[in-house]
Amino acid sequence: MRRTLILIATFVLALQAYSQTEEEAMSMVNDSLKANPNNVNWLYVKGLILSQSKKFEQAIPYLTLSLKNLHQFKIENPNALAFPNELPLDSCDILRERAYCYDLLDSVNNSVNDYRYVQMREPNDLFYSTAVSRLYIKHKIFDKAQIEIDRLKDRKGNNERGLVQQAILFYEQQEYNKAQAAVAIALKKYPASIEGLMTQGKILVKLNRQTESCKYFSEAKSKMTLAYFGGQRGYQRDFEKDIESLKKLYCK
């Protein structure tokens, strides 16, 4: 399923590169939608382009209509082996992107609901297992974040994402010594953890050890892959920007 998302995202990037401008890419998509206004894939692609252009409010209606039409297609074609246009678009692909849009619009409950569905469908994907706790931490709903992290630990044991999320929660609560102890445990077991490395760097900054932090920021960036971020370019892009901002501030 993640492969599907990457394939479609690659198609969007190729479309934008071919047409040179976002406007031209959108014009091509709109022409296709004029010919087939209920096409699941073109609706999704339009929502994806709008989302990547940070037009989140505009993206959501197209993603929602794509989801609605996909469900209707499944009802009308229960034995179909492929979706329209032979693209294996799945509801999780759409919900991932819509959850990201809701997140950036601070619509926490809607984002949580979408991520819950993805978690149900992909329980072994640790990125989405921690999506809700990450969302609660970002919006400083710490009590609910701790509940999510505890559930993750109970279900998955001492996995990378759970350990790192605990460190991030302590960091956001400004409990830096606890955060340092938690991330040390995480990195001892998972030394290549991207979020763990970045969190270690941020903690060291707060502990007035800025010089030491730089190597962690650089290492985190060097290890980044799209797969680590669940195939979502928006999250990877935001993470990269955060690292660059921190490096500019503390690694001169």
Task: Round the average pLDDT of the chain to a whole number and report it.
Answer: 84
Give percent of the chain above pLDDT 70. Answer: 85
pLDDT band at 122 (very low <50, low <70, confident <90, very high): confident
- Regarding whether 2 and 82 lie in a shared domain, the answer is yes
User: 94 with 181, same domain?
Assistant: no
Q: What is the pLDDT of residues 24-75, one digit of tens each?
A: 778 888 988 999 898 888 999 899 989 988 999 999 999 999 999 988 877 7
3-state secondary structure of 55: coil
Looking up tokens 């950036």, which residue turns up? 104
Tell me the Ramachandran region of residue 90: left when phi exceeds 0, alpha when psi lies from -120 to 50, beta otherwise.
Answer: beta
Residue where one domain finishes, among candidates 104, 122, 140: 122
Q: Are residues 50 and 30 in the same domain?
A: yes
Distances in Å between the Cα of 13 and the Cα atoms of 9, 25, 52, 178 are 6, 9, 10, 42
Q: What local confidence, expressed as pLDDT, does residue 84 receive?
A: 47
Query: pLDDT digits over 63-92, tens only?
Result: 999 999 988 877 777 766 544 444 456 788
User: Which CATH number goes with the domain that contains 57?
Assistant: 1.25.40.10
The pLDDT of residue 89 is 67
Q: How many domains does the chain have?
A: 2
Q: With the CA atoms of 228, 234, 235 and 236 taken in that order, what torsion angle do they form, in degrees rounded to the nearest 10?
A: 50
Residue 111 confidence (pLDDT) above 90: yes
Query: Do both 81 and 178 map to the same domain?
Result: no
| CA–CA separation, 66 and 58 (whole Å) | 13
**If you search the block for the tokens 């990457």, which residue do you land on?**
6
- Tell me, yes or no, whether 102 and 218 share the same domain: no
CA torsion through residues 61, 63, 69, 75, sign: negative
